[in-house]
Structure 1
């Protein structure tokens, strides 16, 4: 049953998404955000997303976040569901982004994921009409690993903006031009961020960074556990790219490069997944990339990330165990060994690095079982 708070939030979101893109300015005297939580990839229906917030007691009767709440959304606000749901999913995702942006910047922190930047990357040159044309062809052609290679090459010859037919048929399947308009606005207004420093050595971002990525962003080894310095460098790199961006594909040098038929799949820190898979060994040595060796994580730094669910994490790390959606997970490494488990990690040693995974497969987990991360206790947030 939909609560009055949930219904009010749904109504607010619909109103926020109507008309031209807009975002709330900073408050002159913001209240103390005593409850700071991070939520994993919101690739699920808006009602489910807001129901999770409501279950945790984070919504007001008017349909906004409670004044004392800060919410950090770790990115990937678009693309999920099956083909018949695409129109509803496109609308739902846009309303979510608009609702988040209607909160002050310090209250709703919107982090970029690869699906968000895909709107100004792989999809930057599509109109609704040309994307619909490409998608009709992609739907008829895409068959997972059995997709006909010759026909795919012909498809990419007609649509060289994308690296695979799968991207159009499945990965970025709910694209609409108005989404790109909103993402462009949020980038230019500095509302769509790369990273957020939640503590001196606690960094929140979509997919994680290694020591090599920090070097590419201009962060020295001396400051490799300094979350505020790292967040400033990563956000500065995005802002510098946006400042010289005249439209078309947005590239952040050394950190993010969208995919294309010529370039291959997109690479960089918004695509990252930790991997010890033998086939990824060589690909983890260069930047930008799609996989990274978790033993190269910066010592002393805890990173809160999304992007990868439990099943995929275990596959790439070669680890057995029970696969669960909805729960927080963690990886800890000392640069040689790694440990991966459900829950959040204990206090790190000076030579250890950690990832806390927040992507619990929101569209697949029960609302009451979906865990949020309390950024102050660094444990699962308790419903209020």
Structure 2
């Protein structure tokens, strides 16, 4: 399931449309669900409280299922609760958000206002982050995220089959090198998932207070360093002026030709319009709700709607499953079947 940044009832509606729920509204026992991260932050400013309550209900519902039935993957919005937002309580966040709303309006930031804002709130990188990106934050969300991290219910990656791994935003060869995975194991989904999960688990075990950082993989943002970086922010880019994709990890953009060959990664985080823009694709119209793919042999990069063709050892693939859930009709939102490696066929079985 791509990023569930949508009303809890809509998430349930999508799962029910695919025939995955029983009469009581729980997953059928034969269903295994992987939620690809970003469980918070959606909707306009006037819906902030409702969206915050809805997101918390979704996380509680997902985590109420057994760990071998529901896998919750971390996204940057989930980590933001224990990252940029780690030092906020209800009162201080309300004050900061009211100020941010004055500085960031209708997609535009008042530069002088933001400078003053960041002097008062140096733990965040921009006013936009407080006004829009992490707009639905409430303290109980941080409590849940911390608990699920320490209980190892929030995972970084899930090995779904030979050469098939699921995570929020994708990893390159450099990321895997830095967590100690040898190049000959970069196509081993189990080894990739163990290495990434182990790195985050080790960081959580050492973490006492303040923002959670994961060496090489995740650096929260602040006023001094700018926006957060690392694998939970990753987006592929071929834009020639995108210097971010050529910098050392952690970063926010990466060259897709650096993806590990032989590995298919199922990712969320990026809707179709942004993927096509970053990849310079002009022969496809952006579509919400659909599965899309990127395939590369390290030189050529091809993007298309639908699932990728059967992989070759010399190719790497991304399967994008963030279909803009809050913007897409229930009946048009595709789930990705990890068994068939294709968009899930709807079933009415109960």
* Band the TM-score falls in, shorter-chain normalisation: over 0.9
What secondary structure does 2:32 align onto? strand
Residue in 2 that maps onto 1:226 = 188
Cα distance in 2 between the residues matched to 1:181 and 1:123: 12
Q: CA deviation at 1:79?
A: 0.2
2: CA distance, partners of 1:284 / 1:243: 31
Task: Tell me the residue number matched to 1:324.
Answer: 287
Offset at residue 283 of structure 1 (A) = 4.1
1:281-300 alignment to 2 at 5 Å? 281=243, 283-300=245-262
Q: Counterpart of 2:81? A: 119
Confirm or deny that 1:336 pairs with 2:299: yes
**Separation in 2, partners of 1:227, 1:161:** 36
Whole-angstrom CA distance in 2 between matches of 1:99 and 1:146 = 36
On the 8 A contact 2:244/2:253 being kept in 1, the answer is no
Q: Relative to 1, partners in 2 of residues 1:374 and 1:145: Cα closer, same or farther, differing over 3 Å?
A: closer
- Separation of aligned partners in 2, 1:144 and 1:213: 36
1:47 matched to 2:15:
no
DSSP 3-state at the match of 1:234? helix
**Which one of the candidate residues 308, 319, 326 is aligned to 1:345?**
308
Aligned to 1:247: 209
Tell me the equivalent position of 2:170: 208
Alignment match of 1:370 (pick from 333, 336, 344): 333
Match of 1:60 in 2: 22
CA 1:81–1:328: 2 relative to 1, 3 Å: same
Give me the whole-angstrom Cα distance separating, in 1, the residues matched to 2:203 and 2:114. 32
- 1:355 matched to which residue of 2? 318
User: Quick one: distance in 1 between partners of 2:263 and 2:20?
Assistant: 28
User: Corresponding residue for 1:312?
Assistant: 274
* Contact in 1 for aligned 2:245/2:255 (Cα 8 Å): no
CA distance in 2, matches of 1:124, 1:55: 37
Normalized against structure 1, the TM-score is what?
A: 0.89
Distance in 1 (alpha carbons) for counterparts of 2:242 and 2:153? 34
* CA displacement at 1:144 relative to structure 2: 5.6
- The equivalences for 1:53-92 within 5 A come to 53-92=15-54
What corresponds to 1:18 in structure 2?
Answer: none
Give the secondary structure class of the aligned counterpart of 1:89.
Answer: helix
The 5 Å alignment of 1:112-191 reads 112-143=74-105, 146-191=108-153
Question: 368-377 or 281-290, which moves further after superposition?
Answer: 281-290
- 1:87-98 mapped onto 2 (5 Å cutoff): 87-98=49-60
Contact map agreement 2:244 2:251 (CA 8 A) in 1: no
Contact 1:144 1:166 in 2 (8 A): no
CA shift, 1:146, in A, is: 3.8
| 1:23-38 correspondence runs (5 A) | none
Alignment-derived partner of residue 7 in structure 1 = none
RMSD value, Cα? 0.9
- SS of 2:276 mapped into structure 1: helix
More divergent stretch after superposition (145-154 vs 68-77):
145-154
**C-alpha contact (below 8 Å) 1:372/1:380 kept by paired residues:** yes
What's the TM-score once normalised by structure 2's chain length? Answer: 0.97
Aligned equivalents of 1:253 and 1:60: distance in 2? 42
- The 2-side partners of 1:299 and 1:262 are apart by 36
Aligned positions, number: 346
Q: Distance in 1 between matches of 2:116 and 2:54?
A: 33
Residues 58-104 of structure 1 show CA distances to partners (whole Å, capped at 9, x for unaligned) of: 01112211000000000000001100000000000000000000000
Matched, 1:195 2:195: no
